[in-house]
Amino acid sequence: MRVLAIGAHPDDVELLCGGTLALYVDAGAQVTIAIATNGEVGSSHGTREEIAERRHAEARLPTRSARS
């Protein structure tokens, strides 16, 4: 089974359905997360480019299953 989760902003998918996606992973599904924006205006800590780069790095962090 393949699951595609789409979010408008970084962290949306993880915060809103991360637990459900982890259960799918535990069940053997291939889960893909697509994010529509860079998230560069979601913080005042740095330039837009720095914030977007940080958000991309956070999105690439390894994820864990619901049992971890």
pLDDT at 54: 83
Residue 17 included in any domain: yes
Query: Is 50 among the domain residues?
Result: yes
Beta-carbon contacts of 12 under 8 Å, excluding residues fewer than 6 positions away, are 35
If you write DSSP's letter for every residue of 38-62 in order, what string do you get?
A: --TTS-SSS-HHHHHHHHHHHHTS-
Residue 68 lies in a domain: no
Task: Please report whether residue 38 resides in a domain.
Answer: yes
Q: What is the pLDDT along the chain (68 residues), one digit of tens a residue?
A: 999 999 998 888 888 998 899 899 999 999 999 989 877 676 677 888 888 888 878 777 766 555 55
The answer to whether position 44 is within a domain reads yes
Q: Name which of 45, 1, 41 is nearest 24 in CA terms.
A: 1
* pTM attached to this predicted model: 0.71
Q: Which domain holds residue 50?
A: 2-59
- Asked if residue 66 is part of any domain, the answer here is no
Q: How many domains does the chain contain in total?
A: 1
**Is 40 inside a domain boundary?**
yes
Spatial separation of the C-alpha atoms in residues 29 and 2, rounded to whole Å: 6
